[in-house]
Amino acid sequence: MTPAPIRIGNASGFYGDRFSAVHEMLTGGPLDVLTGDYLAELTMLILGRDRMKDPNRGYAKTFLRQMEQNLALAKEKGVKIVANAGGLNPAGLADALRELAAKLGVDVAIAHVEGDDLIQRAEELGFGKTLTANAYLGAWGIAECLNAGADIVVTGRVTDASVIVGPAAAHFGWARDDYDALAGAVAAGHVIECGTQATGGNYAFFTEHEIGVPGFPIAEISADGSSVITKHPGTGGVVNAGTVTAQLLYEITGARYAGPDVTTRFDTLTLTEDGQDRVRISGVTGEPPPPTLKVCLNGLGGFRNETTFVLTGLDIEAKAALVKEQLEGALKARPPADVRWTLARTDRPDAETEQQASALLHVAVKDADPEVAGRAFSGAAIELALASYPGFHVTAPPAAASPYGVYRAAFVDAKEVPHVAVLPDGTRRDIAPAAETLPLSEVDESALPAPFTQAEVRRVPLGKVVGARSGDKGGNANVGVWARSDEAWRWLAHRLTVTEFKLLLPETADLEVRRHLLPNLRAVNFVVEGILGEGVASQARFDPQAKALGEWLRSREIDIPEALL
One domain for residues 172 and 80: yes
Q: Is residue 207 part of a domain?
A: yes
Domain count, the chain: 3
* Band of pLDDT at residue 145, cut at 50, 70 and 90: very high
CATH number at residue 393: 3.30.70.600
- CA angle in degrees (0–180, nearest 5) for 147-148-150: 95
Q: Please state, in angstroms and as integers, the Cα–Cα distance from residue 156 to each residue in 4, 159, 256, 263, following that order.
A: 30, 10, 25, 21
User: According to the model, what pLDDT value does residue 455 have?
Assistant: 83
The end-to-end CA distance of the chain, in Å, is 49
User: According to the model, what pLDDT value does residue 541 have?
Assistant: 81
The pLDDT of 478-491, averaged and rounded, is 97
User: According to the model, what pLDDT value does residue 236 have?
Assistant: 98
User: According to the model, what pLDDT value does residue 445 have?
Assistant: 87
Quick check: 556 and 504 in contact, CB under 8 A? yes
Least confident of 46-50, 58-62, 208-212: 46-50
The pLDDT of 454-473, averaged and rounded, is 95
One domain for residues 271 and 324: no
User: According to the model, what pLDDT value does residue 265 have?
Assistant: 98
The pLDDT of 205-231, averaged and rounded, is 98
The pLDDT of 351-370, averaged and rounded, is 97
Residue 384: pLDDT over 90: yes
One domain for residues 238 and 346: no
Q: Is residue 273 part of a domain?
A: yes
In angstroms, the CA 24 to CA 64 distance is 17
One domain for residues 215 and 342: no
Residue 412: pLDDT over 80: yes
One domain for residues 390 and 466: no
Least confident of 251-260, 433-442, 522-531, 540-549: 540-549
* Band of pLDDT at residue 395, cut at 50, 70 and 90: very high
Q: Is residue 148 part of a domain?
A: yes
User: According to the model, what pLDDT value does residue 533 have?
Assistant: 87
One domain for residues 501 and 544: yes
**Helices 162-172 and 179-192 sit at what angle, rounded to 10 degrees?**
140
pTM confidence score: 0.95
Dihedral of the alpha carbons of 391, 394, 400, 405, in degrees to the nearest 10: -140
One domain for residues 274 and 315: no
Quick check: 111 and 145 in contact, CB under 8 A? yes
The pLDDT of 189-211, averaged and rounded, is 97
One domain for residues 52 and 174: yes
In angstroms, the CA 151 to CA 139 distance is 16
Strand ranges inside 140-236, DSSP E = 152-155, 217-221, 227-231
Q: Is residue 109 part of a domain?
A: yes
Query: What percent of the chain has a predicted confidence (pLDDT) above 70?
Result: 100
Residue 540: pLDDT over 80: no
One domain for residues 272 and 365: no
* Band of pLDDT at residue 256, cut at 50, 70 and 90: very high
Quick check: 401 and 373 in contact, CB under 8 A? yes
User: According to the model, what pLDDT value does residue 221 have?
Assistant: 98
User: According to the model, what pLDDT value does residue 397 have?
Assistant: 85
Domain of 313, in residue numbers = 303-400
The pLDDT of 122-127, averaged and rounded, is 95
Residue 537: pLDDT over 80: no
User: According to the model, what pLDDT value does residue 542 have?
Assistant: 85
Q: Please state, in angstroms and as integers, the Cα–Cα distance from residue 470 to each residue in 295, 501, 557, following that order.
A: 22, 14, 19
One domain for residues 95 and 218: yes
One domain for residues 466 and 341: no
Q: Is residue 262 part of a domain?
A: no
> In this predicted model, what pLDDT tens digit does every residue of 3-51 receive, in sequence order?
899 999 999 999 999 999 999 999 999 999 999 999 988 899 889 988 9
Give one DSSP letter per residue of 260-286, joined into a string. Answer: SS-EEETTT-EEEE-STT-EEEE--EE
Residue 538: pLDDT over 90: no
In angstroms, the CA 526 to CA 477 distance is 8
One domain for residues 204 and 341: no
Name the average pLDDT for the chain: 96
Q: Is residue 49 part of a domain?
A: yes
Quick check: 185 and 166 in contact, CB under 8 A? no
Q: Is residue 442 part of a domain?
A: no
* Band of pLDDT at residue 535, cut at 50, 70 and 90: confident
Q: Is residue 379 part of a domain?
A: yes
